[in-house]
Amino acid sequence: MANRRSPDPVNPADTARRPPGPRKSSPAMEPRAQVSAEARHALIAQAAYLRAERRGFVPGHETEDWLAAEAEVDALLRAGQSAPQ
């Protein structure tokens, strides 16, 4: 393809003269915000509702739905905090 251009050559003399500067933080490098107790509760409630909905809202499984949703949300929150930043 005629539109592609090759990368600019790196001159080793240029990189040797420049001291490393401070790194700019990108949005992906920002620390993750902690989820409040209220937000966690809302996520669990939503996940429990969705579980009950998939089951057709058959009564008698509310605690089971809540505990499963709580485990699911906590696992997702832990995975999000341990992801490479």
Task: Indicate the number of domains in the chain.
Answer: 1
R_g (Cα) of the chain, nearest Å = 24
- Residue 9 resides in a domain: no
- Residue 72 resides in a domain: yes
- What are the C-alpha distances in Å from 67 to residues 25, 45, 81? 38, 10, 21
How would residue 74 be classed by pLDDT, with cut points 50, 70 and 90? very high
- Contact, 66 vs 48, CB < 8 A? yes
Name the residue with higher pLDDT: 54 or 3: 54
Q: Which of 53, 46, 71 shows the shortest CA–CA distance to 61?
A: 53
**Does residue 30 have a pLDDT over 50?**
no
Q: Give the per-residue pLDDT at 80.
A: 85
Domain range for 63: 42-85
- Residue 32 resides in a domain: no
Residue 66 neighbours by CB distance under 10 Å:
17
- Residue 83 resides in a domain: yes
- Residue 62 resides in a domain: yes
Q: What percentage of the chain has pLDDT greater than the value 90? A: 53
- Residue 1 resides in a domain: no
Mean pLDDT, the chain, integer: 78
- Residue 60 resides in a domain: yes
Reported as a single tens digit per residue, the pLDDT across 1-29 is 556 665 555 555 555 565 555 555 444 44
